[in-house]
Structure 1
């Protein structure tokens, strides 16, 4: 049974006459009559009762007409839904973030803006490390991700820089450098804290996120230290930056994190800026597939990059 059989059948049912139905369908009457006969043969019952001046539906034909009309309604609705999926108006986006990316206010704000603009797109959110993100995206298990600085940049993935912020040192309250610089706990940031030169950290024990998890930024930090004549001693490797800050709070060592993370554990640690001539940054990237096949993911990428451009735009001076 073909859709044209159903369309011909419903047109005859509406017109109650083969001549008018044929004219409406822009075909000749004999081929139309033949198509209806083929339909009746396939169904195994008559759909029309022939009258002297037209036709009328048989009881079985009337029941079948309801089914046929429902088929066309479903097809129309299915077409509308498919178009919305193709346009990225509905669908599903699988998003992953690293813990430090999730801590930056741009990330939740951009996702919230996307959710507000596209409430019919389902968002699946997961938090994993950078290495896991790259692997999952290469295998097609994630549509988009926000991370800092990956060590690997496979050719099939696209990396868009959303934002850059400075890195800050994290010292436990009462640390010798903190005391010597006149720092205090609970300051709520680095605004009133004197910068620390990297060379002053030569004897410190460092806590780093495991290299496979966040290799990029720590590689930059290690190179910066080596340029100052020492290689930082890594005492602990941890799975996430928040864990590193927790360990700093216990006095286990020091670490370095993006500045946006200085809202965490302010009563137990001190966040210190790096001396300006030695400062380095923590980028925030959006990662997507170069050959993205998910229209909703493409729409998400456009929304996030547009949002980041607005976020990074300089504030105009007051008149």
Structure 2
């Protein structure tokens, strides 16, 4: 059975071989000469060979020592590289991460900024992204198909998932540009109650149950039940229907970054509680490596953190 060689002995051996002198090697690695000489003899005994010819003024490698030197250097280089790699994975600088986000989240400058910061900090991490609705993202995180996701407020079972709020944005009204309430582009805001008689276009509830329920509740607080005449699968589709004159919509303010021809955006001036939060979601207890680094970048860039 081959002996298990202490890597420390190989490091001592390399130092003596490269210095050619026990005293110089001992000074280099920070130990006394007698213990170093003893450790070299231990290594020779374990290998069953003589590695050095002891000379009056130094140490000279034997043929066996020359052969071991090249292999010892390669072994320690591989060990050092492995240790460095493991540490980089723990730091989130290597490995893989799968990230998800909702459509509306991806349209806010915050999410691309977090991903850019993460890529700058960890260029060697393999990153994959997926866009879908909040319910599917939460389930994908739970089932480990995704490591982390940027989601709106989930409705239903989110057990085992940590939700940290990183952003809260206003909701705005999206009206056809030629709508009388749009004021030919001169108006900047409108009361939600002013939309009581309008046809509403909403993203289907399964796609974003949190925002859907928030909008319905806000309308009820404003004194009316919205008449939902059209439902779309995505927010961008909602804007297309608004531009076509099929109704009005209430959307996150980040949607204003979409230059949809035929759509006018107005702030809502009577709904202080109508907000669209954005959360970073990950599995409870799994906050190491790349997930921890991505979360850290999100919290660093979060305007909520800057206010504290």
Please report the TM-score for the alignment, with normalisation by the length of structure 2.
Answer: 0.78
TM superposition shift of 1:274 = 2.8
Say if 1:48 and 1:67 are closer, same or farther in 2 by CA, change over 3 A: same
In 2, Cα distance between equivalents of 1:128 and 1:272: 27
- Give the secondary structure class of the aligned counterpart of 1:134: helix
Say if 1:72 and 1:302 are closer, same or farther in 2 by CA, change over 3 A: same
TM superposition shift of 1:256 = 1.6
- Give the secondary structure class of the aligned counterpart of 1:163: strand
TM superposition shift of 1:225 = 2.4
Please give the residue correspondences for 1:21-170 in structure 2 after superposition, counting only pairs within 5 Å. 24=33, 26=35, 33=41, 36-40=44-48, 48=51, 57-59=61-63, 61-152=65-156, 154-170=158-174
TM superposition shift of 1:142 = 2.2
State the Cα RMSD in Å: 3.6
What does the per-residue CA deviation read over 1:155-179, in whole Å, with 9 as the maximum and x for residues that have no partner? 32222222222211222233xxx21
- Give the secondary structure class of the aligned counterpart of 1:276: coil
In 2, Cα distance between equivalents of 1:219 and 1:310: 23
In 1, Cα distance between equivalents of 2:194 and 2:183: 18
- 1:308 corresponds, among 296, 302, 308, to 302
Whether 2:216 is the aligned partner of 1:212: answer no
Residues 176 and 182 in structure 2, CA contact (< 8 A), matched pair in contact too? no
Whether 2:201 is the aligned partner of 1:197: answer no
Residue 244 of structure 1 corresponds to which residue in structure 2? 238
- 1:292 corresponds, among 270, 286, 289, to 286
In 2, Cα distance between equivalents of 1:94 and 1:253: 37
TM superposition shift of 1:101 = 0.8
- Give the secondary structure class of the aligned counterpart of 1:63: helix
- Give the secondary structure class of the aligned counterpart of 2:6: helix
Residue 183 of structure 2 corresponds to which residue in structure 1? 183
Say if 1:16 and 1:284 are closer, same or farther in 2 by CA, change over 3 A: closer
Please report the TM-score for the alignment, with normalisation by the length of structure 1.
Answer: 0.76
In 1, Cα distance between equivalents of 2:79 and 2:276: 50
In 2, Cα distance between equivalents of 1:91 and 1:50: 46
In 2, Cα distance between equivalents of 1:113 and 1:15: 45
TM superposition shift of 1:63 = 2.5
TM superposition shift of 1:154 = 2.0
- Give the secondary structure class of the aligned counterpart of 1:183: helix
In 1, Cα distance between equivalents of 2:84 and 2:195: 64
- Give the secondary structure class of the aligned counterpart of 2:282: strand
- Give the secondary structure class of the aligned counterpart of 1:77: helix
TM superposition shift of 1:299 = 2.4
TM superposition shift of 1:26 = 2.6
TM superposition shift of 1:247 = 2.1
In 1, Cα distance between equivalents of 2:97 and 2:193: 42
Runs (5+) with no aligned partner, structure 1: 41-45, 315-319
Runs (5+) with no aligned partner, structure 2: none
Say if 1:293 and 1:266 are closer, same or farther in 2 by CA, change over 3 A: closer
What does the per-residue CA deviation read over 1:251-294, in whole Å, with 9 as the maximum and x for residues that have no partner? 33332211121232442112233341576111122223331243
- Give the secondary structure class of the aligned counterpart of 2:229: strand
TM superposition shift of 1:240 = 1.6
In 2, Cα distance between equivalents of 1:284 and 1:182: 28
